[in-house]
Amino acid sequence: MDALVAFWRVIDLPVVIFLVLNFFLITASLLVYAERKVSAFIQERNGPDRVGPAGLLQSFADVFKLIFKEDIVPVEGTRFIHSMAPTLMVVIAMTTGSLIPFARTPSGDALAIADVNVGLLLVLALTSISVYGVTLAGWSSNSKYSLLGGLRSSAQMISYELAMGAAALSVVLLSAGADGLGTLRLFDIVESQNDPIAGIFAWNWFRNPVGFVIFAVCALAETNRAPFDLPEAEQELVGGYHTEYSGMKFGMFFLAEYVNLWMASLLITTLFLGGYLLPWEAAYAGAIPPVLLTVLQVGIFIAKTAFIAFCFIWIRWTLPRFKYNQLMTLGWKYMLPISIANILVIALLVAGYHLLT
């Protein structure tokens, strides 16, 4: 028995990594299916219903189609960077998921691949790097449409990253770590929202509603989804930065988009919706077996994240695309000043609370 326990301690991290990566891949396929079904419902259509039961296998059929399609590289393009850009997008999107705590283990630790003290900072750093994949794809294609899409994406991400970082900072101010001060550790941020009396009203969506709205809007803009899909803008730029891509390289951009959508939903859930916490969990957690509690936490975390992802899909098929001047105006004239003002207000409230107590 001791040998089995020792063996499991050696292989448990690779097993968790394998499960999480494959979970993201399957989730991306299911999100594509959900996107098609939700858009069909909004437009009073059936959506995919031919491949598999209720069309569930349509996304997997599309993957097989893309695998066998010809890989075309522009003659005047830069082949190495053209091939590297979609890979960079997928790798960064997958890596971000390693920092998210999916539950609390029976031993009281975080169920995460990498539980680091600066988890939130690393997440923001990784999401900011993803713009390089889009920019390099636009430049290496040697196409004016692709280049314009890449430049638009760079400007858009810079514009909304500042407000998103400020909204995340407001969460840090409200979260108490082991030393009682603000923390960048995602596990501590989730645990700081655990209150037996307030319950869901102790989650940051209620304590910090302005930061919640700003972060959600900025996350939507960072994923380049409608109404913020200016980098693609089919009516203007054909397909934007992936105009010159085909086959599985195009499929990797598609995969990265939906993994980023899931990651944005995971991060919003972690920071503002109590992460893996059950409603009023602290009041009854002691009566639930630890292993069962961990399983329930993983389930509720996925359910919350799926709801946020559904809202993102709903928004895409409801709101029209912004004009470019409207996109920049919203980011610089409204989102950034409001997020800075929100930080100041929360900092004053936190400082006042500590002075009174």
Per-residue pLDDT tens digits for 42-68: 988 998 888 888 888 898 898 888 888
> Is pLDDT above 70 for 215?
yes
The pLDDT assigned to 69 comes to: 87
pLDDT tens digits for 298-335? 999 999 999 999 999 999 888 888 888 888 899 999 99
Residue position matching structure tokens 């600066």: 118
* Mean pLDDT of all residues belonging to the chain: 85
* Contact between residue 334 and residue 214 where contact means Cβ atoms under 8 Å apart: no
DSSP of 122-149: HHHHHHHHHHHHHHHHHHHTT-HHHHHH
**Distance from C-alpha of 186 to C-alpha of 172, rounded to nearest angstrom:** 10
pLDDT score at 170: 92
Chain centroid to CA 13: 22
How many CB atoms neighbour CB 331 within 10 A? 24
